[in-house]
Structure 1
Amino acid sequence: MQEKYYYGYDEFKNDTQVLVDKCRDYEPDILLGVARGGLTLSHLMGQALNMRNVFTINSIHYEGELKLDTFNIFNIPDLSHAKRVLVIDDIVDSGETMREILKLLNKKFPNTEFKLATIFYKPTACIKADYSVKIADKWIEFFWEVDIK
């Protein structure tokens, strides 16, 4: 069984500020949170950056700790009017899901630049975030996943 790390609100709040400061110069037109993991982060980043253009996209590649064999990406918003979009998720684990999301977005919106922001990343991932805060070396239990049942 993989070792687990509880990621609480205070640590999240501090890390989000670090991530916001790293991303600020990019000046995105839209923040695109990947549901569900990126929703809390994209909401807080939208508040910090005083942005109302906070959109979501859905992606399913995990069922709890179980990685599925398929990628289900849906609810893709119309981003055709945006020049720069910051895609936001809580973690880049294998990177496979994010690679598929970015491939789909780049194909659908070829005139839009996409950058990726995440709190946690694994150095072994097949894709690297443009902006990140911490290395994930344990299974992360985010407070929004485990505090309310």
Structure 2
Amino acid sequence: MTYYDFDSFRHDAKVLAQKVKSKFDPDAILGIARGGLTLAHFLANALDIRDCFSLNSIHYEKSKKLDTINIYNIPDLSKFKKVLITDDIIDSGESMVAIKKKISNMYPNLEIAVATIFYKPKALMLPNFTIKEADDWIEFFWDLSLE
């Protein structure tokens, strides 16, 4: 397991914001709850984007992968042209493929890009913008447990 601390995140979020700004310049950001919310918030601030939304997608219970992908609480994105979807990591890629497909079906004229901090190269899809390759489980600084 690899621990990912706040200072590393802060640095990587700045680098990721520069990459996004130079090649995509979104109208809105859509963070995948829960892992993509912190990144969505930081990128929204860095890119000066007020339209920052979230949706829920559940494909893991702690570190156990589930057999289903539940996607819900999708915001109204009809007034936007370019939306950046954020998550902490693309692991298998199954969740992000399902999310992109659902959003694209609902909003066929929407240009979508994906930004993550980490990705696994064998995933079904790779993010458009990313920072680090992951080769094991990542424990993020926001993974706070009260246990």
Alignment TM-score > 0.5, same fold: yes
What secondary structure is seen at the aligned counterpart in 2 of 1:123?
Answer: coil
TM-score, with length taken from structure 1: 0.95
Measured on the aligned residues, the alpha-carbon RMSD in Å equals: 0.8
TM-score, with length taken from structure 2: 0.97
* 1:41-69 deviations in Å (ceiling 9; x for gaps): 10011111111110001000000110000
What secondary structure is seen at the aligned counterpart in 2 of 1:87?
Answer: strand
Instruction: Give the AA of the match of 2:101.
Output: K
Structure 1 segments of 4+ aligned residues over 3 angstroms from their partners:
none
CA distance in 2, matches of 1:48, 1:112: 22
Q: 2:89 is matched with which residue?
A: 91
CA distance in 1, matches of 2:137, 2:126: 19
Instruction: Give the AA of the match of 1:85.
Output: V
> Mapping of 1:112-131 within 5 angstroms?
112-131=110-129
Deviation, 1:28, is 0.4
CA distance in 1, matches of 2:49, 2:104: 23
Instruction: Give the AA of the match of 1:105.
Output: I
* 1:9 corresponds to which of 3, 6, 25: 6
Deviation, 1:27, is 1.2
CA distance in 2, matches of 1:9, 1:138: 19
* 2:75 corresponds to which of 43, 67, 77: 77
Structure 1 gap ranges (5+): none
> Mapping of 1:95-110 within 5 angstroms?
95-110=93-108
CA distance in 2, matches of 1:39, 1:20: 15
* 2:32 corresponds to which of 20, 23, 34: 34
CA distance in 1, matches of 2:62, 2:102: 24
Structure 2 gap ranges (5+): none
* Percent pairwise identity: 52
Deviation, 1:128, is 1.0
Is 1:144 equivalent to 2:134 in the alignment? no
* 1:57 corresponds to which of 40, 55, 58: 55
* 1:23 corresponds to which of 20, 25, 43: 20
* 2:131 corresponds to which of 110, 133, 139: 133
